[in-house]
């Protein structure tokens, strides 16, 4: 399935397509294990389609959905979290200072 077709689906249709693709993939995997089908190409296509559907659903969930098909999406600005001060980091600094002092005494 093409990306543009997937993007034109509403949320309910998108969920239905995801369910159908997952079910088809399950059945195809089962058939391949039983030796009934040799559709490796079909399985690859289904996995890619399922990934596309999930990606677009996640984009919509995060509010990153493209308004114009084919237009590049600006990446979200990553906010760097402040490093929390932990007791372990303070203890390791003290150990390093003690080692340094001990080597200076020798």
Question: What backbone torsions phi and psi does residue 13 show, to the nearest 5 degrees?
Answer: -65, -35
The pLDDT score that the predictor gives to residue 54 is 94
Does 32 score more than 90 pLDDT? no
Q: How far apart are CA 38 and CA 32, in angstroms?
A: 6
Q: Where are the alpha helices (DSSP H) in the chain?
A: 3-7, 11-34, 40-62, 87-105
- At the topology level of CATH, where does 3-62 sit? Helix Hairpins (1.10.287)
**pLDDT, mean of residues 61-66:** 80
Does 69 score more than 70 pLDDT? no
Q: How many C-beta atoms lie closer than 10 Å to residue 22's C-beta?
A: 14
Does 85 score more than 60 pLDDT? no
Average model confidence (pLDDT) for the chain? Answer: 79
The pLDDT score that the predictor gives to residue 47 is 94
Domain segments of the chain: what residues?
3-62
Would you say the pTM of this structure is higher than 0.75?
Answer: no
């Amino acid at each position: 399935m093409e990306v543009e077709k997937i993007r034109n689906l509403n949320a309910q249709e998108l969920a239905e397509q995801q369910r159908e693709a997952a079910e088809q993939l399950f059945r195809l995997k089962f058939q391949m294990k039983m030796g009934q089908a040799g559709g490796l190409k079909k399985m690859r296509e289904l996995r890619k389609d399922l990934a596309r559907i999930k990606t677009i659903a996640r984009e919509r969930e995060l509010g990153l959905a493209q308004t114009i098909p084919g237009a590049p999406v600006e990446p979200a600005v990553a906010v760097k979290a402040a490093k929390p001060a932990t007791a372990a980091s303070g203890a390791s600094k003290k150990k390093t200072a003690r080692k340094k002092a001990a080597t200076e005494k020798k």
